[in-house]
A = this chain, B = another copy of it.
Amino acid sequence: MKKTSVRTRVLTGTVAAAAIAAATVGAVSASAETTETPAAVKADAQNRNLAQSTGLTIDAATRAAQAALDAATKVGQHVSVAVVDRDGVTRVLLKGDGAGPQAPESAERKAFTAVSWNAPTSELAKRLAQAPNLKDIPGTLFLAGGAPVQSKGAPVAAIGVAGAPSGDLDEQFAQAGVAALAK
């Protein structure tokens, strides 16, 4: 790695992020203090204002996505796989070999739907019989193939699969991904 000066390092990028990386943050704050902009408020937010939430590590999310893809490949199916976090944000997207152009976004939407209601999309699709307009909620797709990842029963992520000849197959592959996280 070519050495870059501290000045360069803070120049164009994100400095740090979650608490686990707090060490690198100081430099930026320090340089901010010397500018003529309005003085930044230095005090940390009080604990009583904070809430913790749970998600998957990228390693776990990648492993789950690959387990889902492998399950599909093993039976000759060509699919896309998405893993989203509790906020519906995509953590991992894999467009498998031979998967159609409609598959990636379908996979993301199935995962989004599963994490929103903490249930498999095969189950959620049945609810449309009584509440058909649920499917008009932006970002959702009520087709089998999405499965929530839970921690203590609450949704912390979801896996969506699309591209197999039936949604039930897609969902089996998604569940294979979920199962990989329980090991």
A residues lining the B interface (CB < 8 Å): 1-2, 4, 6-26, 28-29, 31-32, 35-41, 43-46, 48-60, 62-63, 66, 69, 75-78, 85-106, 109, 112-113, 115-120, 122-128, 130-131, 133-144, 147-157, 162-172, 175, 178-179, 181-183
Contacts and interface: CB of A to CB of B under 8 A. Distances in A.
B89 A8 contact: no
Nearest to A181: B45
B115 A100 contact: yes
Given A14-B103, A103-B14, A50 B57 contact: yes
A154 B135 CA distance: 30
Chain A interface secondary structure, helix, strand, loop or mixed?
A: mixed
Given A14-B164, A182-B43, A28 B118 contact: yes
B166 A4 contact: yes
18 contacts: A4-B153, A8-B165, A11-B154, A12-B144, A14-B103, A15-B118, A18-B54, A19-B122, A19-B167, A22-B166, A25-B153, A38-B175, A40-B175, A44-B150, A50-B156, A58-B94, A85-B87, A102-B138
